[in-house]
């Protein structure tokens, strides 16, 4: 699994086009301020590693949130981080489990619609740690 994480002073997203026929119909906008924005992609080789991926995803998000004192997380599926594509069910399962743990840990978690292309705007903070790439 690949993660591209940002400390975003602001993030805005709007659904553009459905890409997974099985995704529920969902149109709308998502916004967050002072948030960790996580672009994620599950890879084919991640199958069977769901528990470890969930733990590492949660650990990395909490680490970055802690560095900047942030309490909000925005999750965004971004299938452009690797040429290896995992099944959509894998990504959904890992992210749903991670969301539960992040909320239990006191973070407010938002998510852009899975299975959609989205347009978005993001204002990323300047410090080096405001932009982090992880392979988990």
CATH number of the domain to which 131 belongs: 3.50.80.10
Q: Which residue in 60, 12, 63, 70 sits closest to 36, CA to CA? A: 70
Average pLDDT of the chain to the nearest whole number: 96
Please give the tally of structural domains in the chain: 1
* Average of per-residue pLDDT across 121-125: 98
Are 38 and 73 in contact by the 8 Å Cβ rule? The answer is yes
Domain span holding position 112: 2-135
Q: What is the pLDDT of residues 28-79, one digit of tens each?
A: 999 999 999 999 999 999 999 999 999 999 999 999 999 999 999 999 999 8
pLDDT of amino acid 46 = 97
């Amino acid at each position: 699994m690949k993660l591209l994480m940002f400390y975003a002073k602001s993030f805005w997203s709007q659904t553009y086009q459905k890409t997974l026929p099985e995704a529920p119909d969902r149109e709308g906008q998502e916004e967050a301020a002072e948030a960790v924005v996580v672009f994620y992609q599950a890879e084919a080789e991640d199958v069977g590693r769901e528990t470890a991926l969930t733990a590492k995803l949660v650990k990395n998000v909490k680490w970055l949130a802690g560095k900047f004192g942030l309490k909000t997380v925005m999750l965004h599926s971004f299938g452009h981080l690797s040429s290896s594509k995992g099944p959509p069910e894998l990504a959904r399962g890992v992210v749903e489990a991670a969301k539960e743990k992040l909320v239990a840990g006191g973070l407010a978690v938002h998510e852009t619609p899975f299975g959609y292309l989205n347009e978005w705007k993001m204002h990323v903070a300047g410090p080096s740690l405001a932009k982090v790439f992880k392979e988990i």
